[in-house]
Structure 1
Amino acid sequence: MAWERRSGREPVAPAHDLGAGPFLRTRTAVPALPPTFLRRGRLTRRLDAGLDTPLTLVTGAAGAGKTLLAADWAARAERPVAWLTNDAGHQGSGTFWAYVLEALRGAGESVPPEVGAPACGDRADALFPARLAGALCERDRPVTVVLDEYDRVSDPEISAQLEFVLRHAGPGLRLVLVTRNEPRLPLHRYRASGELTEIRNADLAFTPDEAAELLGLHGLELPRHATLGLVEHTRGWAAGLRLCALAARDSADPERYLKEFEAGHSAVADFLLAEVLDRQSPGTRGLLLRVSVLGDFPPALADALTGRRDAESVLAGLRRQNAFVEYLGDVSYRLHPLFGEILRAHLRERLPGLEAELHRRAAGWLRRHGRLTEALRHGAAADDWEFTAGALLGDLAVGQFFTGLRSPDLAALFARMPATATDPAAELVRAASRLARSDPEGGLAHLRHAEQALSVDTPAATRMCGALLRALAARLTGSPGDAATAAGDAGRLLAEVPQGLREEHPEVPALLRAHVGCTLLWAGHLDEARAGLAAVAGGGERAATAPAREDALGHLALLDYLDGRPSAAENRALAATALRRRFSLPAGCGSGIALVVLAAVAVERDELERAEAWLDAADGGEQAVRDPVCAGFGATTRARLLLARGRPRAALDALRRPVPGVTASPWLEAHRTVLTAAAHQAEGHRGAACALLRRVPPSPAMCAVEAAGVQYAAGFPEAALRRLDALPARGGPGPAVRVRAALLRARAADAAGDTGTARRLVEHAVREARRERLRRPLLDTGPWIRPLLDPAPAPPPAPPVVPDLSLREREVLSGVARLMSYEEIGADLFISVNTVKTHLKNAYRKLSVNRRSDAVRRARELHLL
């Protein structure tokens, strides 16, 4: 399908809708040109020719004129150009691609919704480049993307993903890289195939004629030999030529001045300070020194740092003078990076101690104007940790420790906070940092210190953050009482938080409900847990709440499994993993419970290798929340896997591992007891097994029916049947429970000589097991069932009516039925997209259909799904 270009530039959407916002408009705006800019036709024609090749590379030293060349060309291009200026700080692939999408939107190019958007700055999921490349490949006309300052991209993953998109987008993408050095791309391939246009440092160097024109724009008229000497001295370096022009234009004898400069000045810093800074008025010098602590800044912030009211006119004048002040559009400026660095060093020398105060003023102004990220950075630079921690909590942003783009940056920023910062906000931030690393003991210690100092005068948002952290600590320790208290406090405090702040941070109530729901699940309050987790999972499609929703879906999948509904559990767990991929949630976000549920379902289906792979993935991930639910259920699932492989001793070892939690979980203890009894029974210790089973309660139903099976195998059929009769009827048992119960009653009927009843029960169990793809209950019954499975002698059967789909073909069809893409099915089954298509084509042939929807409908009619 072709993209449709939108008319006009649409306003920037709210951060929660974009998935990775808020975005800096200046990064996706084509830079403005200075009045003294010289258009060089020989280079713009090279850029025009570059539209015939997939990749254009503009590379040269700092100040060579790369950005202005590309900006002039982009501003005059006949077709829309998406522009992105890369950030100087750490930039993960998630942030990079989120800004690329925003640049496309800013250029009027709509992005198909199925492409998705990264939610985490550290990385984008492995399928995102494929989705973007596929969408670009289907365009009617190519889109041109300029990536300026690409040398600031240090993550090799970004380069690998960018090369993948460029290679697979075909004619739908024309990429222009503006960079100081060669990017990490296989340029030799593009050169060999004639698909690369290059403008290198030597090309960017000014010729004598171009230099003469440039000097003329600066008001300088030099003899030809003087111009040649200047070009030779600067080697045509654009910034050097401009520096010389700025310094010499007011001299009575510019030619002689340039000769003296050439002879006596070798350091750019000396030149900038002596010939640019010192030539300004004292007020302008003071302004430049003070704004040097900033990155991109509006004139109002410059006024706040200097106490002036005319910063905008001064900055505009400096820009017109090309005095290393760049206008970024949207009423925003920045200093030339080299100039700013030199000014900061000069500020420390001339005005020692002022730098910290300037950072402090900037932090306060930025927070008041809704720019919290920059405010925190300046607060930390000022070593004002009371302000920095208080701003994070007061703006209700503590949830960013656990979700979104900011988690790694916040952890790194507050890791610099000294031990001398002991106010309540600092202690709460330390608690958040510890709890984010699943350290409840350390987190609780800092929480107690903070709560001792909190008062009714403390802002409600700060106290709300404390309640959220207490709920998380209760979850990590398995303390339902503490969770209920924290939830009650949070409910009252949330009403005191300004509505705008609540709407800006929907992740806070979502995380709170998820933590409370998981704690209730641990405590055995399953109905209450289900209701709370369902409310979180059904929340709006926002990137900020995606981690909480993924966590809730995983725990709802566990509840489905405990009810004996493996297919429902699998569907929810897969929905959780799909949500994780869609929003590029990092490995350190969430508990990993969905992977453990998938492993448990795989054991029920006797897919033991697959179950072990899921468990290894859950154990090996750097999960942010290692709570008792996931740890305990993971241990029981590992024990089930070992029992299925005939290793009861290893299963017992897995069950003996301690599980965190200050209180016991009734359903988990029941499962552990049944599995321990099953392991003793497998080792021939019937007495030990039966002694343990006396402690198993009549619910949950899965535990009860498994306990009955162990009792029957141990030689106590009456007790086993009584346990079956006591199964709770409320809500009806799930398919896994019904299959096990039917098989156990069939065994009892067969032992009593009632072969007809036994056969009917077995047939019923087999039919239901087939629908759920359950194999483990049939394998665990023992050899008595074989005669009942053998068909009675009969004439040769007619050709089967039901197509014989392979296991993998049914798995692919199951993914299609859940509306998963080919890429998602392949990632789920660890197979390539081509293999997915091959299995689906085979299924079409066997089902005699030609479309996906018909295949799903036919498979459901035949009870294959």
Structure 2
Amino acid sequence: MAVPGEDGSAPAPSHADPRGDPFLTTRFAVPTRPVTFLRRDRLLGHLGDDPPTPLTVVHGAAGAGKTLLVADWASARDGPVAWLTARVADKGCGTFWAYLLQALRLAGLPLTSDVGFPTEPGRVPDALLTRLAAALSARTAPLIVVVDEYDRATDPEIADQLEFVLQQAGHGLRLVLVTRTEPLLPLHRYRAAGAVTEIRNAELAFTRDEAADLLALHGLRLTADDVDALVERTRGWAAGLRLCALAARDEPDPRTYLQEFEADRTTIADFLLAEVLKRQKAGTQDLLLRTSILERVCPGLADALTGRTDAGLILTGLHRENAFVEYLGHDWFRLHPLFGEILRAHLRVRSPGLETELHRRAAHWLRHSGSLGETLGHAAAAHDWETAAGALVGDLAIGEIFTGLRVDDLSELFATMGPGPAGPATDLVRAARELSRHDLERGLPRLHLAAHALARRGASTEDDPDGLAATRLSCAFLETLAARLTGAPGRAETAAQAAERLRRDVPGRLLDEHPELIALLHTHLGSARLWAGRMREARAVLTTVVDSGRAEATAQARQECLGHLALIDYLKGWPGRAERTAWATVTAADGHRDPPPAPGPGLTPLVLAAVAVDRDELDRAQALLDAAADPRGLPPDPVAQAGESIVTGRLLLARGDPQAALEAVDRTVVAEEVSPWAAAHTACVAAAAHLAEGRPETAVKLLAEQPDGEPVCLVGAAQAELAAGRPEAAAELLGRVRPQSHVGPAVAVRAALVGAQVAGEAGDLARQRGLVAQALREARHERLRRPFVDAGPWLRPLLRTVPLRALAEGWLTPGPPVPAGEQPPLPVVEELSGRERDVLRRLAQMMSTEEIAADLYVSVNTVKTHLKSAYRKLAVNRRHDAVRRARDLGLL
């Protein structure tokens, strides 16, 4: 043993620590890198920042690659590096400093005998530290000292002593600490002074490119998606990636292995259990195992699962120790995915049956303090369907079964719910799942059970701890849907009115969080009103949904409402407006500027198909009809069923198959109440089919059974009367068609053409030409070709006359050949008045505006007004062009 000096230290021995044990030389060796080691330049550059800071801390989880990173950097240094693996720190500060002094000597630091040597394992003289700091401060270049596994130095005295030497050594020392935990040093001061370089756990994580390079070093080449999946599962954890690579390269199908391996049956499990779990106290191990069932955990939830009251302190400590516990913010933590997976498997072996109970506890705690999604997941895992259904209904989230981002997740989650238990919430969820598939046979009995159970509880919703008001509102919502699906507008109104009253009893927070429920309720009510033929009231409620905002949760409801509004426009005889509204459903959903070629299923393609038939675009109409079918095979509701039947019948008529058209509209629409518009349009298609097969009396009788005043039926009946040889009756029916301002162009065009045929048979050729011109002007803007095709052969000669030819050319009939390089002339949008023709004739004689005014005995301003009107109708801007255009059209 060395002889102590006056300060209690001894001359430095070169062979033993204060206990007299020989130095373990492995503690001073820079670790060697394996053959498959990947050099990471981005981190090496961080370590070698210029100018270097006096303190560098590399801290991360076990297996994060800390030691090999620093070893790679140290080995590449030109100057000396003192390396110490601090596994001796738990033997006392004297032993720690003895080893550190030996590391300095091995690195070539000339320490004089007056520096001394610790003589006691648990004590270091202050003089020794002072003299060491003085020796270091005298250096012209800093000595790099790496202390690996510094997290083993748990004695605060070691930290204080190291801090003293670091401060006093000045530029003579650069200290690099490699540790799992944040060192017990005043890092806040170093950070404020910019005197510390830190590489944390997140920076140590491998990037996708780094992971791909590491796998390649192991002979594995994966696709970018496969690498991404592995990085996501391991969170870029170095040891996890290496262990996966080592295991996969021995497999016949490495790619499949890496996609499907069970973490608890690999060397990863052995590593994490030994290096992380078993190093914790028994209580901490229990907390980790119990919380492993959670995607994320907060102190209150951890306390509920463990029965503790100090889970927050433990979780915070685990995070600081980089013990595979991530901090998410706002008191929430998360276990590393692989660690959690291994802990869950360990929990099942260690405590069989406990996992279900933990899920149940988690669901009950989250029901009042957490998110709905997490509550549902844990309740389902515990097979606690009362809690799951109660949470969904009580949070007013039952609409998410029909729309929103979680439709598939909820469908899968509740698919395993059996026939029990029974109760309002569970019955409502079962009813909702069946009604979402339009399965009325199974859904309605469940809905009735829930409604009767709620009725037995009474009407009061005061002091509502169980969310009874939300449950009642959910029930009213489903009753409105059921009424829509069964074609019962009266019951839909009753249920919707009840829902409006119940809204006052539901917390506003729930209504704000789940806008889809009210949006869907109004959608169902609007559809029911549409079925009842109450178009104005239907439009009002449907428009409230469309105008309700841009929330993603209500997107599906808004699109459905736009489809219904488009159908209303079409039924009113406004095909162009219907088309624009229908395309709005697609552009709103997909963000298209131009209409895409194939909208999704529902009313939108039906309406577009109907417009295509009106425009005689029969192939397009068929394609749209095919697109209207629900890919899930769900039966359509009455509105869609009737619409599909009517459009199919009209298309078959246009294709010349009246018998198939009759069969199409003869299909029974299952509904409790008859829809007036569905009945009227079905009768019109059937009547047209009978007319096509030479049975006008059958057509007359069929349309006579429809309510008076329906314009489409009046026009169809007039056409049937005309075919039966009763033009007077046809004229009388046409006279009952409402004024043109209240009738859309689709009805007005057909009415004008039937009127023109009546006028022609009466010999009133001028009126006939006028009515055909009126029909052409109405139809041109909407591109309605089918009414002219259906009108019959009497119309064709008329369309070749002036000015009707000009009104039809270019959109209904082919125009004259156009010389190359010239634009075809536009047809007259509107027929010129007599006074406008008078003005044009004088214009052709080269008369001035003043001369025309004097010749016609009108003011100059009146002549200018007539000229502007004529220019607009002729689609020109100048006098010369107006005269030439009028001559081309035979108007002069």
Paired AA for residue 199 in structure 1: D
Secondary structure of 1:333's partner?
A: strand
Secondary structure of 2:770's partner?
A: helix
Residue 729 of structure 1, CA deviation: 4.2
Distance in 2, matches of 1:737 and 1:240, equals 71
**Cross-structure match for 2:369:** 369
Secondary structure of 2:551's partner?
A: coil
Moved more, 702-711 or 741-750: 702-711
Moved more, 703-712 or 383-392: 703-712
1:521 pairs with 2:520: no
Residue 797 of structure 1, CA deviation: 9.6
Paired AA for residue 239 in structure 2: A
Residues 739-818 of structure 1: pairs in structure 2 closer than 5 A: 739-792=749-802, 803-804=823-824
Residue 330 of structure 1, CA deviation: 5.1
Structure 1 residues 561 and 242: alpha-carbon distance in aligned structure 2, compared to 1, 3 A threshold: closer
Which of 569, 578, 589 matches 2:578?
A: 569
Preserved CA contact (<8 Å) 2:753 2:791 = yes
Distance in 2, matches of 1:338 and 1:310, equals 25
Paired AA for residue 238 in structure 1: A
Residue 799 of structure 1, CA deviation: 8.2
Distance in 1, matches of 2:68 and 2:745, equals 68
Listed one character per residue, the Cα deviations across residues 638-696 of structure 1 (whole Å, up to 9, x for unaligned) are 00000001011111111122212121111111111121111122122233222212212
**Cross-structure match for 2:551:** 542
1:238 pairs with 2:239: yes
Structure 1 residues 388 and 704: alpha-carbon distance in aligned structure 2, compared to 1, 3 A threshold: same
**Cross-structure match for 1:327:** 327
Moved more, 723-732 or 692-701: 723-732
**Cross-structure match for 2:738:** 728
Residue 270 of structure 1, CA deviation: 4.7
User: Which entry has the higher C-alpha Rg, 1 or 2?
Assistant: 2
**Cross-structure match for 1:147:** none
Structure 1 residues 715 and 803: alpha-carbon distance in aligned structure 2, compared to 1, 3 A threshold: farther
Preserved CA contact (<8 Å) 1:553 1:575 = yes
**Given the two structures, how large is their TM-score scaled by the length of structure 1?**
0.62
Residues 25-64 of structure 1: pairs in structure 2 closer than 5 A: 41-42=40-41
Listed one character per residue, the Cα deviations across residues 151-196 of structure 1 (whole Å, up to 9, x for unaligned) are xxxxxxxxxxxxxxxxxxxxxxxxx9955999xxxxxxxxxxxxxx
Residue 594 of structure 1, CA deviation: 1.4
Paired AA for residue 421 in structure 1: P
Secondary structure of 1:783's partner?
A: coil
Secondary structure of 1:280's partner?
A: coil
Secondary structure of 1:619's partner?
A: coil
Secondary structure of 1:545's partner?
A: helix
**Cross-structure match for 1:477:** 486
Which of 745, 748, 751 matches 1:738?
A: 748
Preserved CA contact (<8 Å) 1:471 1:487 = yes
**Cross-structure match for 1:173:** none
Distance in 2, matches of 1:203 and 1:735, equals 73
Structure 1 residues 802 and 412: alpha-carbon distance in aligned structure 2, compared to 1, 3 A threshold: farther
Distance in 2, matches of 1:468 and 1:393, equals 11
1:627 pairs with 2:628: no
Residue 734 of structure 1, CA deviation: 1.0
1:461 pairs with 2:470: yes
Residue 366 of structure 1, CA deviation: 2.4
Residues 102-117 of structure 1: pairs in structure 2 closer than 5 A: none
Which of 546, 560, 581 matches 2:569?
A: 560
Residue 312 of structure 1, CA deviation: 2.9
Listed one character per residue, the Cα deviations across residues 581-604 of structure 1 (whole Å, up to 9, x for unaligned) are 2499xxxx9971111011101111
Secondary structure of 1:326's partner?
A: strand
Paired AA for residue 530 in structure 1: R
Distance in 1, matches of 2:732 and 2:206, equals 75
Distance in 1, matches of 2:67 and 2:723, equals 81
Listed one character per residue, the Cα deviations across residues 402-449 of structure 1 (whole Å, up to 9, x for unaligned) are 111011110110011121221211110011001111112221111011
Preserved CA contact (<8 Å) 1:315 1:325 = yes
Distance in 2, matches of 1:240 and 1:41, equals 15
Preserved CA contact (<8 Å) 1:506 1:545 = yes
Listed one character per residue, the Cα deviations across residues 21-40 of structure 1 (whole Å, up to 9, x for unaligned) are xxxxxxxxxxxxxxxxx996
Residue 733 of structure 1, CA deviation: 0.9
Listed one character per residue, the Cα deviations across residues 588-634 of structure 1 (whole Å, up to 9, x for unaligned) are x9971111011101111111111111110002544878210011011
Ranges in structure 1 where 5+ consecutive residues have no aligned partner: 1-37, 48-61, 71-175, 183-197, 206-235, 244-264, 808-846, 850-865
Bigger relative CO (Cα 8 Å, ≥ 6 apart): 1
Residue 776 of structure 1, CA deviation: 0.7
Structure 1 residues 806 and 181: alpha-carbon distance in aligned structure 2, compared to 1, 3 A threshold: farther
Structure 1 residues 63 and 322: alpha-carbon distance in aligned structure 2, compared to 1, 3 A threshold: closer
Distance in 1, matches of 2:66 and 2:413, equals 31
**Cross-structure match for 1:56:** none
Listed one character per residue, the Cα deviations across residues 456-499 of structure 1 (whole Å, up to 9, x for unaligned) are 36610011011110000000000012101101110111110011
Preserved CA contact (<8 Å) 1:63 1:239 = no
Structure 1 residues 724 and 66: alpha-carbon distance in aligned structure 2, compared to 1, 3 A threshold: farther
Residue 728 of structure 1, CA deviation: 3.3
Residue 394 of structure 1, CA deviation: 0.4
Preserved CA contact (<8 Å) 2:62 2:323 = no
1:608 pairs with 2:596: no
Residues 196-595 of structure 1: pairs in structure 2 closer than 5 A: 199-202=213-216, 238-239=239-240, 267-270=267-270, 272-273=272-273, 276-329=276-329, 331-454=331-454, 455-456=457-458, 459-582=468-591, 592-595=602-605
Moved more, 702-711 or 513-522: 702-711
1:709 pairs with 2:727: no
Listed one character per residue, the Cα deviations across residues 779-804 of structure 1 (whole Å, up to 9, x for unaligned) are 11101112221125999999899954
Preserved CA contact (<8 Å) 2:38 2:213 = no
Secondary structure of 1:334's partner?
A: strand
Residue 329 of structure 1, CA deviation: 4.7
Distance in 2, matches of 1:534 and 1:467, equals 21
Residue 64 of structure 1, CA deviation: 8.6
Distance in 2, matches of 1:179 and 1:709, equals 73
Preserved CA contact (<8 Å) 1:681 1:714 = no
Preserved CA contact (<8 Å) 2:600 2:628 = no
Distance in 2, matches of 1:339 and 1:704, equals 76
Distance in 1, matches of 2:217 and 2:876, equals 63
Residue 526 of structure 1, CA deviation: 1.8
Distance in 1, matches of 2:613 and 2:66, equals 58
Secondary structure of 2:742's partner?
A: coil
Preserved CA contact (<8 Å) 1:698 1:727 = no
Distance in 1, matches of 2:696 and 2:64, equals 84
Residue 746 of structure 1, CA deviation: 1.0
Structure 1 residues 286 and 516: alpha-carbon distance in aligned structure 2, compared to 1, 3 A threshold: same
Aligned residues: 586
Listed one character per residue, the Cα deviations across residues 703-729 of structure 1 (whole Å, up to 9, x for unaligned) are 322332233234332222222112234
Matched residues, percent identical?
50
Distance in 1, matches of 2:45 and 2:723, equals 82
Distance in 2, matches of 1:653 and 1:566, equals 25
Distance in 2, matches of 1:527 and 1:451, equals 31
Residues 652-667 of structure 1: pairs in structure 2 closer than 5 A: 652-667=662-677
Structure 1 residues 530 and 326: alpha-carbon distance in aligned structure 2, compared to 1, 3 A threshold: closer
Structure 1 residues 349 and 41: alpha-carbon distance in aligned structure 2, compared to 1, 3 A threshold: closer
Preserved CA contact (<8 Å) 2:700 2:717 = no
Paired AA for residue 42 in structure 1: D
Preserved CA contact (<8 Å) 1:550 1:590 = no
Secondary structure of 1:304's partner?
A: helix
**Given the two structures, how large is their TM-score scaled by the length of structure 2?**
0.60
Root mean square deviation, CA, Å: 4.0
Ranges in structure 2 where 5+ consecutive residues have no aligned partner: 1-36, 47-60, 70-204, 220-236, 245-264, 462-466, 594-598, 807-814, 828-874, 878-892
